[in-house]
Structure 1
Amino acid sequence: MQEQESRTSSFTTLAAGPDFRHELEIKRSRFITVLRRTDSEEAARALVADLRREFHDARHHCSAFVLGPDRSVQRSSDDGEPSGTAGIPMLEALIRRETASGVTDLSDVSAVVVRYFGGILLGAGGLVRAYSESVSAALELAPLVQRRRLRLCAVRVPHAAAGRLENDLRAAGYAMAETGYEPQATVLRIALPDAPEPLAEATERLAAMTSGTAALEPEGTDWVDAPLPH
């Protein structure tokens, strides 16, 4: 998603890694929930296709996904279950999932619940509860991270001054990104929250540290994973 499409600077998502799986048995029916981190509709639909192949003998492969920093893309499918009893409850479980700080900002997550029918009808209300609970229970156990958009800024300084300035920046609490090297300068990079205030503050700090001889050069933004705040 391009930067101009959203000014959201952070959201919660699954930690990078393999699919997360969790299973519930409700009145002899098996509900196998699979969560995958996805950043496009194509990737979300690929999860459904993968699980249709893996669980080819299951009766239902219901799905829901939320995409984008501002959660602008939300889709769900009942896949043969009575209308509104599977996909929508699954989607609600995704979008209403709260972090420890009470924020509901989960995104770039796809959920598929594979159901093996156990011979006992659950009724519409029972299905809604089962699919909602399946996704909610998986999310309670799945590894989650905060996805943050940070603004990268370069600082070009003489090679001899780079080590000391980097130490000063770290001591001031700035997160350092990749360092580059040019014939006449070392290029230090710091990662700042993507907002005007931190950029202005860092500009003043750098001017004070270097007696005005160095300046911040914005280089755009990038998304990075960080632990969830407690």
Structure 2
Amino acid sequence: MANYITIAPAQFVWEQDIKKSRFILNIARITSEDDARAFIENITKQHYKATHNVFAYLLGDNDQIQRYSDNGEPSGTAGVPMLEVLQKNNLHDVVAVVTRYFGGIKLGAGGLIRAYAGTTAEGVKAAGLVARLTRTKVTLTIDYKQADMLQHWLTTHDYQIIATTYDTAVHLVVPVAEVEVPEFQAILTDFLAGHVVFQIGEKTFFEISTK
């Protein structure tokens, strides 16, 4: 599978009230259309008393599958704005359902577009995004006395620590772009005066925060 951006949690819920109508976003990762359909069906069952359960989803390395539904809202005012938000965030393999409980005040076409798009956009922002990238797994082994210094260096140089374990030494797992590995080793060897052991692992997918 290709590199791509998706939501940080496997599933996320966010809601807001707009002119007495309640809008609830449920968004989740998916790997197939069956996943998407099952998620939509589940949310619809949970909110069977809602006025509308609008959905949109993208699936495939190149978003080969794109589906949406206005679920009774005026054509083009709900599902399409949601889909466009997913596209603008460069998201892949996600399904979003916005549930609306009508509060008695009509929003008009423009208001509906803003409500569905805005609920999706704010929910995606609240969930947070991760990039699923191919990286080389590098394990750094150092003495305890150097752990804080190394962690600070990694953080300030935008390297994400995936895992930390402790025994007679400290072991940090860091994903590094393959082309950067030699330079990464050279810089840290110099920075730590040679008091570091590198274990270069296989290339695999890591989820790295986009913040």
Q: TM-score range by the shorter chain?
A: 0.5 to 0.7
- The structure that has the greater radius of gyration is 1
Matched, 1:106 2:91: yes
Q: Deviations over 1:123-170 (max 9, x none)?
A: 111111110001011011113211113479xxxxxxxxxxxxx97xxx
Under a length normalisation based on structure 1, what TM-score does the superposition of the two structures give? 0.62
Which runs of 5 or more residues in structure 1 are unaligned?
98-104, 153-165, 168-172, 176-189, 206-218
- Distance (Å, rounded) in 2 between the aligned partners of 1:139 and 1:53: 23
RMSD: 3.5
Matched, 1:225 2:207: yes
Q: Which residue matches 1:181?
A: none
Q: Which residue matches 2:16?
A: 24
Matched, 1:44 2:44: no
Matched, 1:12 2:28: no
CA contact (8 A) 1:78 1:87 kept: yes
Which runs of 5 or more residues in structure 2 are unaligned?
142-153, 155-159, 161-173, 187-201
Structure 1 position 78, deviation (Å): 0.5
Within 5 Å, give how 1:102-141 maps onto structure 2.
Answer: 105-141=90-126
Q: How many residues align?
A: 175
CA contact (8 A) 1:24 1:32 kept: yes
- Distance (Å, rounded) in 1 between the aligned partners of 2:58 and 2:94: 6
Structure 1 position 191, deviation (Å): 7.5
CA contact (8 A) 1:146 1:227 kept: yes
Structure 1 position 227, deviation (Å): 2.4
Under a length normalisation based on structure 2, what TM-score does the superposition of the two structures give? 0.67
CA contact (8 A) 1:15 1:37 kept: no
**Match for 1:67: what amino acid?**
L
- Distance (Å, rounded) in 2 between the aligned partners of 1:84 and 1:139: 21
- Distance (Å, rounded) in 1 between the aligned partners of 2:136 and 2:41: 36
Q: Secondary structure at the match of 1:47?
A: helix
Q: Secondary structure at the match of 2:44?
A: helix
| Structure 2 counterpart of 1:76, from 68, 71, 83 | 68
Structure 1 position 70, deviation (Å): 2.7
- Distance (Å, rounded) in 1 between the aligned partners of 2:205 and 2:52: 35
Q: Deviations over 1:168-202 (max 9, x none)?
A: xxxxx9x9xxxxxxxxxxxxxx9875x8x679x89
CA contact (8 A) 2:56 2:67 kept: yes
Structure 1 position 25, deviation (Å): 0.9
Within 5 Å, give how 1:151-230 maps onto structure 2.
Answer: 193=177, 222-228=204-210, 230=211
User: Identity percentage over the alignment?
Assistant: 40
**Match for 2:69: what amino acid?**
S
- Distance (Å, rounded) in 2 between the aligned partners of 1:77 and 1:83: 9
- Distance (Å, rounded) in 1 between the aligned partners of 2:47 and 2:125: 24
Q: Deviations over 1:52-110 (max 9, x none)?
A: 1111101111001122333332211111111111000000111112xxxxxxx221221
Matched, 1:96 2:88: yes
Q: Secondary structure at the match of 1:56?
A: coil
